[in-house]
Structure 1
Amino acid sequence: MSLLSRFSMLLRHCLVASLIGVPAAFAASPAVVVENPKEVHAIVVGVDQYQHLARLKGAAADARDIETSLRAMGVQDVTALYDDKADRDSILKNVDDLSARIRPGDLVILSIAGHGAQEPERVKGSEADGKDAVFLLAGFDTAGAGTRQRILDKEFNHLIKAFESRGARVLFVADTCSGGGLAREVDPRGSEMIYRSVPTYAISDDELKPVSTPSDAFATELDFTRTIFLAAVDKNSKAPEIKVPGVDGYRGALSYALARALEGAADANGDGKITIEELFAYVRQVTYQLSDQRQTIVSASAPRLDVNTEPVVELSRSVTFVTPPGSAPSAVAANIALGGAARATPAGSLPPFPPQRPLRVAVLDGSSAQLADVTPLESRFEAVAPNQNPELIWDPKSGDVISGGDVIAREVGKDELPGVIDRAAAVRALKQMAARSVQPILLLPDNKVHHLGSQVEVAIDQLSNRSLLLFNLAGDGTVQLLYPQNESEAELMNKPEYRLPIKVRGPFGADQIVAITAPERMPQLEQALGKLNARRTAGQLVRILSQYADAGMRLGSVGVFTAP
């Protein structure tokens, strides 16, 4: 039985189902604590405030989120280094100190967030492309003393091996990037995208003396015995900082997903153990969705580890609830007992999901007065200037509506804006729901902008013995029910996957394909969605889900971006 199943009745009685809330089945999971917190150790690093490079906005917040989640779960040995405190000497010293006190079987979490780069390889022949990946620290400079303020990827190999030599297990998380490739081009009219990589540079008067050895330079995951790896993107791609729904400022999608995973959201079968495969699957899907598919994580594990059974952490349920996803994390109440059995909490004792703030909408030319007479349908909005971090930007000349660097609707008149706003608000809420109970869904063959006549496919997995509801949110806010189309399709799935072929045609922009699955049929939800079908009713969607969502449901969505 899943964790959501065990607490479904409690959640249904304590959370208000409304348009501005999140359905009970997708609400915050019961807080968890680590079964043996003294066996878990962490060093978390986050750097925003670079002295000589473009500053970031979310790396320090990423580290604080992971730190807070670990402490809330009972982990006491957490070393957090932010900005200028995360210098090279401090990081290496803390790694050495931790190596001296860990014991065989302990888990070490080493997490880094900040700028990355590529440099010519130091050990010839160690990299197929001839380039080393590098993590840059706050004081990094290309000449003199600042050249010491970086850590080579080969040095991380060396540090991880030091932990393994003490018998420890290691989770290494790199929310950074060193490449320049984009999953999808960014519309320049949208809000500026922030990436965690810097252009190529040349080092002079290099004072770096790596701690790694030549053998470290050739190490791959095959050379480790107890380590699992998570990276924001592959070596050739960029990792953007994103806006997570309900969270102020910018974040790294990988770090946010990791923090929620460790809090228990990755425990897919509710057995109290987050296996390697559960961790990988959860973080991969949540990162993919939060980044609007601009980011596909890289995951790897030592070959001797059985990813299906090997636990990363073991958890104990508590009766206290963590802050819902998307809100600033808060510490779990101090009266949690390790190993304590879950028990009922009186109705009304849980905090409701925080209300959704109005959607921020800008007019490209800055004439926000044009929005003064736009009447909302369901979702509230506020008019802001283009430089005030809008979530939607409307170009009145072309009618394009841009969100996060993507054109989501084209040839939109002012009277059609409320439907687009409702759609954007619904997608925002769907992302929050998915972070608690995610359904795997992918777009194939890639996440680029697809043009008229091209073929794509939506792939939905892990469907055996589950029912499936599939619908589309078009760019203008129209809801389209895609599956089931008849009574026979409404039965439980007898195969593990479903493929939806799509041929691109107009109208162009963005379609959000949403999959909801459950261990039982969902006739009431299916009927309710049917009433929204073929109408601009995106704003009613969250209210419908709030009314009919139930325990065991999973939700996932994927965007299909199209152009003529």
Structure 2
Amino acid sequence: MLRKALISCAFFSLAGLPALAATSALVVGVDVYPHEVSLDGAVKDARDVAQALKTADVGTIREFINEKATKDAIRAGWLELVGAATKGDMIIFTYAGHGAQMPELVAGSEPDGLDEFLELPGFDRSRAEETAKEIIVDNELNAWFAEAEAKGVQVLFVSDSCYSGGMNRSISGKTRLAPTVRAQLPPPSQEAVSGAAVKDADLSQVTILAASLESQLTPEVVIEGEPRGALSWSFARALEGAADRDGDGLISRVELEDYVFSNVKLQSEALQVPNFTPQVPRSDREIVLSLPRSAALADGNGAAATGRSSKLKPARDMGWTGTLALSVNGTAPTLENVGGSGVPYRWDATSGTFYTPNGDVAGEHVAADMVQGVVDKFILLDFLKVLAAQNPGKVSLTPVKDIYSSGDRLNFDAPQSGYANMLVFNLANTGEVQLLDAQVSGSGSHVFKLRDLEVVKPFGADHLVVVSTNAPIDAVVAALSSPGVEASEFLRLLEERLDGTDSAVAIQPLYTRERGQ
């Protein structure tokens, strides 16, 4: 059967999808929970995905938002799509909202004795038996998917919710985790009973991409100034064609894995680590999504593309403004490039603590004469994130943690790319840009390895960055070779030389603190 990963922020893909298969979609998003802590970004997620589906010319799309997300309505929508589909077609089913656990309904069906379920607005745990109709249990989803598989219909399921625990950083946003239901619920539905008998092999064309490891919560994080789910945001961008790196109108599992892994980590500031199951693709050319719109195959001039476009969109065309929303507690000096809308960064002038919109400590003991540098660092970081969202590179930091303590030893790696030039640097929590490595006019960038890196003061948020490009970077490297390079100066160099070019950007957030805090 599909076990925990089914509800825990899972992304389902499929092998061998025909390029011309008809695609329909069922989209669910719930912010308003009358009997539960409401969310802030799930409806934005659902509407973003729905718009991306429409842009991709997906056929029938059924949307269920807030109070319209009842189990009967969702079930009817599902049956409609399955009934209209024929062999080889695909149904995309996305869910953004709360997930939770409860004692298993079918004895012996779950190794840990717990069922996972999608929690709909009508469920009230204080009246669990009366309102149990307004949850969708994992075994029921098994049965639904088996209905599609019986017709040879492919299923792509994206669930931006979670039920697992374990997060060490202090996050001010909400998590998509509802408390475990302890009350005894009514006997299971016939769908839950039949779904409990469904084995993994019975759904042979389903692959799982979990948005978080089982040990992690799925938080709502601030993306482009708004609370969002990192998986939904990344999936919407993938639908828009960002994951289609070779421009053939098909997204392979490798392309999707590269794109979603990088962007979920990037947008969640390394709070989430996606995970594919099975770990190895079923074939070298496993296709998970077809992009039917012709625009997916066009470059910036509208001409048919034979591969990846040689240029990416400039950051300002993607919404980057070069400013930072900042809230100050206390008296602040006159600051440049501060303004804009959305959830702000925060600086406590008394303690000197600088916070990200997610509530993370980005810097400690940031004095008045230092705060402009920290502001400039995050403006630069936002610029790099826009580039990375279009063409993400690969990096790894081991061991994997959401926060590191003083004295921890780390290894940082960047693989070789097909680009001639490579630039590796650190955006320190003080705002300083620190050159780590560079290769200029090579035949292909070398593998970069940073071994036995020790966590020391000052603590906060560093960001290790790798830029791979064919654009000339000699002047950039020369500037970084001087000590004490300011983020604002470095940003001007990157805007002039790399903005809009074919450049891959990888960003590894590194949050640190004093041991024992």
| TM-score, normalised via structure 2 length | 0.85
| Count of paired positions | 486
What is the distance in 1 between the residues matched to 2:284 and 2:74?
A: 29
Q: 1:225 corresponds to which residue?
A: 204
Q: 1:522 corresponds to which residue?
A: 472
Q: In the alignment, does 2:344 pair up with 1:390?
A: yes
- Cα pair distance change 1:469/1:59, threshold 3 Å: same
- Deviation string, structure 1 residues 50-101 (Cα, Å, up to 9, x no partner): 1100111111111111111111111121111111111000111111111111
Equivalent pair of 2:100/2:178 in contact (CA under 8 Å)? yes
Q: In the alignment, does 2:369 pair up with 1:415?
A: yes
- Deviation string, structure 1 residues 217-254 (Cα, Å, up to 9, x no partner): 5633x442222333322444210111112xx5311100
Q: In the alignment, does 2:456 pair up with 1:491?
A: no
Q: 2:27 corresponds to which residue?
A: 44
What is the distance in 1 between the residues matched to 2:198 and 2:305?
A: 48
Equivalent pair of 1:123/1:214 in contact (CA under 8 Å)? no
Q: 2:147 corresponds to which residue?
A: 162
- Cα pair distance change 1:304/1:157, threshold 3 Å: farther
What is the distance in 1 between the residues matched to 2:277 and 2:118?
A: 19
Equivalent pair of 2:407/2:456 in contact (CA under 8 Å)? yes
What is the distance in 1 between the residues matched to 2:62 and 2:74?
A: 10
- Deviation string, structure 1 residues 168-191 (Cα, Å, up to 9, x no partner): 121111100011221x3216xxxx
- C-alpha displacement of 1:155: 1.4
- C-alpha displacement of 1:510: 1.7
What is the distance in 1 between the residues matched to 2:204 and 2:289?
A: 14
Equivalent pair of 1:225/1:303 in contact (CA under 8 Å)? no
Q: 2:85 corresponds to which residue?
A: 102
Q: 2:217 corresponds to which residue?
A: 238
Q: In the alignment, does 2:36 pair up with 1:53?
A: yes
- C-alpha displacement of 1:202: 2.4
Task: Trace 1:427-438 onto structure 2 (pairs within 5 A).
Answer: 427-438=381-392
- Cα pair distance change 1:468/1:173, threshold 3 Å: same
- Cα pair distance change 1:96/1:439, threshold 3 Å: same
| TM-score, normalised via structure 1 length | 0.78
Task: Trace 1:313-332 onto structure 2 (pairs within 5 A).
Answer: 313-315=290-292, 317-318=294-295
One-letter code of the match for 1:413? A
- Deviation string, structure 1 residues 9-67 (Cα, Å, up to 9, x no partner): xxxxxxxxxxxxxxxxxxxxxxxxx9967711111111111110011111111111111
Q: In the alignment, does 2:477 pair up with 1:512?
A: no
Equivalent pair of 2:95/2:158 in contact (CA under 8 Å)? yes
Equivalent position SS for 1:91: helix
Q: In the alignment, does 2:135 pair up with 1:153?
A: no
What is the distance in 1 between the residues matched to 2:472 and 2:263?
A: 24
Q: 1:543 corresponds to which residue?
A: 492
Q: 2:400 corresponds to which residue?
A: 446
What is the distance in 1 between the residues matched to 2:75 and 2:179?
A: 26
- Cα pair distance change 1:86/1:301, threshold 3 Å: farther
What is the distance in 1 between the residues matched to 2:421 and 2:471?
A: 5
Q: 2:12 corresponds to which residue?
A: none
- Cα pair distance change 1:381/1:230, threshold 3 Å: same
Equivalent pair of 2:21/2:90 in contact (CA under 8 Å)? no
Equivalent position SS for 1:41: strand
What is the distance in 2 between the residues matched to 1:138 and 1:357?
A: 39
What is the distance in 2 between the residues matched to 1:236 and 1:132?
A: 17
Equivalent pair of 1:525/1:545 in contact (CA under 8 Å)? no
- Deviation string, structure 1 residues 328-376 (Cα, Å, up to 9, x no partner): xxxxxxxx9xxx84699xxx9x99444527422233xx43xx02x3332
Equivalent pair of 1:163/1:169 in contact (CA under 8 Å)? yes
- Cα pair distance change 1:515/1:494, threshold 3 Å: closer
- Deviation string, structure 1 residues 107-151 (Cα, Å, up to 9, x no partner): 211111100111112233333322111110011112243221111
Task: Trace 1:7-86 onto structure 2 (pairs within 5 A).
Answer: 39-86=22-69
Q: 1:362 corresponds to which residue?
A: 327
What is the distance in 1 between the residues matched to 2:366 and 2:169?
A: 21
Q: 1:556 corresponds to which residue?
A: 506
Equivalent pair of 1:400/1:409 in contact (CA under 8 Å)? yes
Determine what percentage of the aligned residue pairs are the same residue: 29
Q: 2:450 corresponds to which residue?
A: 500
Equivalent position SS for 2:67: helix
What is the distance in 2 between the residues matched to 1:87 and 1:233?
A: 26
Q: 1:124 corresponds to which residue?
A: 107
Q: 2:192 corresponds to which residue?
A: 212
- Deviation string, structure 1 residues 256-293 (Cα, Å, up to 9, x no partner): 10010111111122333210221122111101110000
Q: 1:426 corresponds to which residue?
A: 380
Q: 1:92 corresponds to which residue?
A: 75
Q: 2:433 corresponds to which residue?
A: 479
Q: 2:354 corresponds to which residue?
A: 401
1:265 pairs with one of 242, 248, 269: 242
One-letter code of the match for 2:326? V
One-letter code of the match for 1:242? V
Q: 1:380 corresponds to which residue?
A: 338
What is the distance in 1 between the residues matched to 2:279 and 2:136?
A: 22
What is the distance in 2 between the residues matched to 1:319 and 1:134?
A: 35
- Deviation string, structure 1 residues 477-519 (Cα, Å, up to 9, x no partner): 10111112xx6x7634476x4322222222222211011113x
One-letter code of the match for 2:352? G
Gaps of 5+ in 2: 1-16
Q: In the alignment, does 2:183 pair up with 1:198?
A: no
Greater relative contact order structure (CA < 8 Å, 6+ sep): 1
Equivalent position SS for 1:491: coil
